[in-house]
Structure 1
């Protein structure tokens, strides 16, 4: 039985109680009043008889009769007051019942959410024009959420729209609804399994989550892209990163080498790729036993070669609001990362991850901390700096994470100093 019906029955019983209880009490009082009135009237008749028989003087009869009539009036006034009180109780009970049912209906049926859904359907064409066609930079996260709600509603009547599902997935990524984004991309791939854009978008999300099972799934999709388009440099870069993060050294070296052939030697990315290959070849020389102890390379950290070559672009000092001091997880991690502030891509351009230690702490970000060689910090202009404390060890935002943000304009000619205050707990 639903919560609505259970609560409705309870409210009905309470309302019935407001009606029945005063009625029972009033009934007893009414019966007592009738009994007393009958006795008083009977006594008046007896007084007349006693005076007629000479047992009582006329004066005594009048005085006694006066007292009895006063008592009778008191009984009638009491009955009137009780009736008024009972009506008041019934009125209050009825009003409370009506208010309770209205509140219950509003909560159970989520009327505000229903109104929001109706607004989303009406605003869908306008939001689609601003977000998809115009690329309006003034679009807020609330606009994206409204657009996602309206688009999801539209897809219920056209579930074979692969483009729609892909677009919905990208909007979910932009609003940090990663699981919903994965579901949307999977629906799109069920309709068009070889859609390159969907495969690339889904692979990017899987790489961002950076978990073993997701990395393996990303490699499958990226290999499929390269089967369909062998010169897809974006897929090559993501596959190289997935293999590196997963500890698949042989595949990582092979893929970085393939990617290097598409990059001009004078490009800064070329040097980063060479440094990554050198680091992987050095790791490959370690014995099998050492590799087993070391485990897969899952943390996003710069290699020694990269750190020496890449200039520091941003120094970030991370501090913590005193109100959150008691909420730091014992085995948590600190992430400091930079991403495009325009929201064009949610993929971090530079990430530093470390076990949680004492705050404040200063972290340096550069191209050496890039997740993908095709997306580096130096390529960005408006940058969103994020400092996050997480127990999951996952760079993606999750409920309970502690976070602080700062939006800056990147000055590539010198190392800038910034301070981020971690002052919010993610819902």
Structure 2
């Protein structure tokens, strides 16, 4: 999983910087100039990421095998980008054909599905290898790194270009994905809605638009997002990302058999000896257990999990699945799994600083480990004080949940901008490290202003 975060952080930064500059060039000569600049940025980012890898190896966060594997992936990505002469091929949006890791990279380059990019928004909650974060920290969002405009400047330029060319579907897709990466789900939804108007039958537009809609609805895929995912599956029933999201949507609806069937299709395209395949098998087993499939039958089915036909998929996905008495809704945590009851309040001295409809993010993150939130809820200032629950069912990535880490930090942040990305003036508060095992109750007071 450490390798996954290294790749997501590194490739997200590369993709964000590579995808915007070619779109903003207006002549062939400008494109050639961009190639030179992008190659410089590419190599510079690679050196930064390699330094991070070396530091993690020295600190014992990675063993030698993990280090070698991650370095090979980074080197391959850099060489691919340097060898690509067509700047539009640098975007990083092509969909890998197999593997959960490949799927996760598609979602996270630059816009993660439903996990990293809706999250919470503290600068220290974004992987430090993320090139976008490194550039932003180094240039205060307004300067340039080695002659490369900042991400904020590129976004503004792309918005201005789209005002002049409002039918540029590729530009709207890029803008929407970039906003998702910047954790501005509302603007992402607006941009991707326009892309959908222009290209309603494009597979990647359908899936990106579904992501944005879900990101604005606490990561829930019911309703319009599910309909868009279904449209994507009609275009390509074997698309890995669409299959993965379809399984998640079914799981959230409590249609556990349908979720298992969809994930088995993903498993059939995954290296059976990989960690991704092992995690998929655990997810499938969990879904089938909730669906009431006997243990013996689940064990017998594991060897042939990838051999699922279209007919069985259609039967499982018809929305009429009967839920056995022993199964429980997807919104509840498994019995015995970690659950944290959070008493959230706003300090009296800060009550008059924000309107009652302002968004509040309540989250749990690992005390030591990857910075991605393990569980998150979104409420309003008007709801405070309140008590809410964080548990494993709120994890959007299967190996990043409360039960994956022995200690967590629980926090809450009032977003004065309404965005998940933190801004100066936001109100926030956090606990210290607490055990994640069993049931825990903590109090979080939002009592300080973000500088």
Structure whose residues are more often helix by fraction: 1
Greater gyration radius: 1
Query: TM-score under structure 1 normalisation?
Result: 0.45
Q: Which has the higher contact order (CA 8 A, sep 6+)?
A: 2
